[in-house]
Amino acid sequence: MKTIITGDRPTGRLHLGHYFGSVQNRVKMQYDYDTYILIADVQALTDNFENPQKVRENVHELALDYLAAGIDPTHSHIYIQSCIPEVAELTVYFSNLVTVSRLYRNPTTKHEVGQKTELFGSDGESITYGFLGYPVSQAADITALDGDYVPVGEDQVPHIEQTREIVRKFNTIYGETFKEPEAVLSETPRIKGLDGNDKMGKSLGNAIYLADTEEEVSKKVMSAVTDPSKIKKDDPANPDICMVYYYHKLLNNPNLDTICKECKAGSRGCVACKKELIKVMMEFLKPIQERRKYYEEHPEEVERILQEGTASARERTKEVMKRVRKNMKLDYFE
């Protein structure tokens, strides 16, 4: 069986952008692949080293969100990155194979550097060695488990590309050791926000979280952007520029054709259309929230899942590291 390795930083709750961008894919794929899902606490610290408590709390939240979203612990291993010290070791070996200028050229890192520079001033003052190097540790996450496929959102593609470069370089210097992993993108790699923004994100303030209550969902849906030319309830409008319609489509509302026709004909008011979307969205979230509730009430089960997942990931990593040390002539006392 081929292996999937993927994960997220524990910095906040999962939202629909995560779900449609990658989590849904992982849920589908877990039955056909050996699946490892990491809670990237070490990577979260590159950005949040001053807030260890925040990272710690979100490790638990992320585990709950994964289980709620349908990651099935009888098919997937969910594990905690910092509990695999071999990955830190491999990161050090990999760090020789990447230039600093290449790290600065990584488009995702570059974008994040831009954001930080805006917040904190010049690059040199705000960009740490650990932050700049996180794609190297991500390469170690993936290769330490011999990952074949990495189902992720599109912002992660540069990191997988960088992983492939590191693998090629490693294999050239130390002999064939790793395979080149491939990113797997979903059919909806990036979903728009209800506010019309190109992307859904925590920092954009437009996220609908998997754990949102009906009240929270209602508030967000009621303020969604619709066709601005529609002023009165019975004005005809263009569903293609309406975020409410976009979400009806995304959530597979069986009523979609009728909505489209009625909207174009002016026989559907936006308020009614939004109310229908709230219903569809809550129905979509219901099984997710029911599973979350179950695991919230059974913390010992979540603990056991994380422990077993971590033990299994570590076992596998140890095997890979034997190969690494041998090929790097570091197998002193073997």
CB atoms within 10 A of CB 102: 14
Judge residue 175's burial from the number of C-beta atoms within 10 Å of its C-beta, 0-12 exposed, 13-18 middle, 19 or more buried.
exposed
- Contact segment (CB under 6 A) with ligand TRP among 3-11, 72-80, 217-225, 249-257 equals 3-11
9 binding ligand TRP? (CB under 6 A):
yes
| Of 39 and 263, CB closest to ligand TRP | 39
6 binding ligand TRP? (CB under 6 A):
yes
SS3 readout for 193-259? CCCCCCCCCCCCCCCCECCCCHHHHHHHHHCCCCCCCCCCCCCCCCHHHCHHHHHHHHCCCCCHHHH
Backbone angles phi, psi at 183, to 5 degrees: -75, 145
40 binding ligand TRP? (CB under 6 A):
yes
43 binding ligand TRP? (CB under 6 A):
yes
91 binding ligand TRP? (CB under 6 A):
no
| Of 39 and 68, CB closest to ligand TRP | 39
Q: Left (φ > 0), alpha (ψ -120 to 50) or beta: where does 146 sit?
A: left
7 binding ligand TRP? (CB under 6 A):
yes
309 binding ligand TRP? (CB under 6 A):
no
Least distance from C-beta 292 to ligand TRP, angstroms? 20
Terminal-residue alpha carbon distance, the chain: 29
Residues in 130-189 that interact with ligand TRP by CB under 6 A = 138, 141-142, 150, 152, 156
Least distance from C-beta 196 to ligand TRP, angstroms? 24
DSSP code at position 51: -
8 binding ligand TRP? (CB under 6 A):
yes
Which residues touch 307 (CB under 8 Å, ≥6 apart)?
A: none
The residues of the shown chain that bind ligand TRP, judged by CB under 6 A, are: 5-9, 38, 40, 43, 138, 141-142, 150, 152, 156
